[in-house]
Amino acid sequence: MNKPSKVTDLDWILLTEKYKDKKLEKVVKLIEKDYPIQYLIGNVDFYGYEIFVKKGVLIPRFETEGLLEETIKLLKDENMDDISVLDIGTGTGCIPVVLKKELPNLEITSIDVNGKAIKLAKLNASNYNATINFIKKNIFHYKPINKYSLIISNPPYVSKDEPVGPEIKYEPKNAIFADHEGLKYYEYIIKNAKKWTTDKNILAFEIGCGQGKYLKQYAKAYYPKSKVIIKKDLSQRDRYLFIINK
Ligand SMILES: C[S@@+](CC[C@H](N)C(=O)[O-])C[C@H]1O[C@@H](n2cnc3c(N)ncnc32)[C@H](O)[C@@H]1O
């Protein structure tokens, strides 16, 4: 069986180790129909950690590593490495697993509306012996009991009318698309975050590349005295929003 052109040499080795004969033929057919290779391999490398992935849960993206890099740096700079964290829309649990491994004194609660995601996130956390409180909850109905000093989220942010590539057709739609031109989750979280946070806190988001200007203004309206920063990804596109409340 020949390697399909869109499969890298390394992924082909992993696939041919895992699948043989008829099963490999089936796998190649799926790849030709844009089925994600990561689901077939079963894991991805994320921030140097092996994260299990499964159909029904969004595959972690490279850009999200940038959110973690910036957030970890900020927490260290602000001496906030032993705080309570709320992670909204955890998916595979890639964000809390990396945070907990890099800063072990954090106390992390992660929520997701998708039960499959919570199950997989628990598996990823236990694979790294990371103690994280996972809760199946819809953020729009969630009433946190505790106060958090970091809220971190990579929520669904693609506008429902935005054209998207074939690679996402097998991923859960409610992990990707959001109302209000993709802004619904940011608006809701920013509007409500004061009730959920300690006096000194950071809100950290991954954002869509065209959303920075609007979200900076929106954040400033709710937090006029705070530092609101938009950071770029490696391709120089607006990608991360930080609201720093001291
Ligand atoms: C863009 S994915 C991010 C997943 C993961 N944090 C990552 O960075 O790879 C957004 C996640 O938000 C979850 N989600 C969507 N709507 C939600 C809601 N109303 N409440 C809680 N989680 C939600 C989805 O199930 C999905 O796992």
**Domains and their CATH numbers in the chain:** 9-52 (no CATH), 62-245 (3.40.50.150)
> How many other CB atoms sit within 10 Å of the CB of residue 230?
16
Average pLDDT of the residues in 214-236 = 96
Report CA(150)–ligand 1 centroid distance (Å): 17
- Residue 96 Cβ < 6 Å to ligand 1: no
Q: Which two tokens stand for residue 225?
A: 């005295």
Mean pLDDT of all residues in 206-235:
97
Give nearest CA residue, ligand 1 atom 7. 60
The number of residues making up the chain comes to: 246
Residue 21: exposure state from Cβ atoms within 10 A (0-12, 13-18, ≥19) = exposed
- What is the 8-class DSSP label of residue 244? E
Say yes or no to pLDDT of 103 above 90: yes
What average pLDDT does this structure show over 218-246? Answer: 96
* pLDDT tens figures, 16-25: 999 999 999 9
Which residue, judged by its Cα, is nearest atom 8 of ligand 1? 154
Q: What is the DSSP string of 92-139?
A: TTHHHHHHHHHSTT-EEEEEES-HHHHHHHHHHHHHTT---EEEE--G
Q: Using the mean position of ligand 1's atoms as its centre, give its distance from the Cα of residue 138 in Å.
A: 10
Ligand 1 mean position, distance from CA 111 (Å): 8
What is the band of 125 on the pLDDT scale with cuts at 50, 70, 90?
A: very high
How remote is the CA of residue 235 from the centroid of ligand 1, in Å? 24
For atom 11 of ligand 1, the residue with the nearest CA is: 89
Q: Is 158 helix (H, G, I), strand (E, B) or coil?
A: strand
In angstroms, how far is the first alpha carbon of the chain from the final one? 59
Q: How confident is the model at residue 167 (pLDDT cuts 50, 70, 90)?
A: confident
CA–CA gap between residue 176 and residue 154 (Å, rounded) = 10
Please name the residue ranges forming H helices in the chain.
Answer: 9-18, 21-32, 37-41, 62-77, 94-102, 115-127, 179-182, 184-196, 212-222
Mean pLDDT for the chain overall? 96
Instruction: Identify the residue whose C-alpha is closest to ligand 1 atom 19.
Output: 138
In short, whether 80's Cβ falls inside 6 Å of ligand 1 is no
Closest ligand 1 atom to residue 157 Cα is 1
pLDDT tens digits, residue range 25-52? Answer: 999 999 999 999 999 999 999 999 999 9
Quote the DSSP letter at residue 41.
Answer: H
Any idea which residue has 């994280």 for tokens?
132
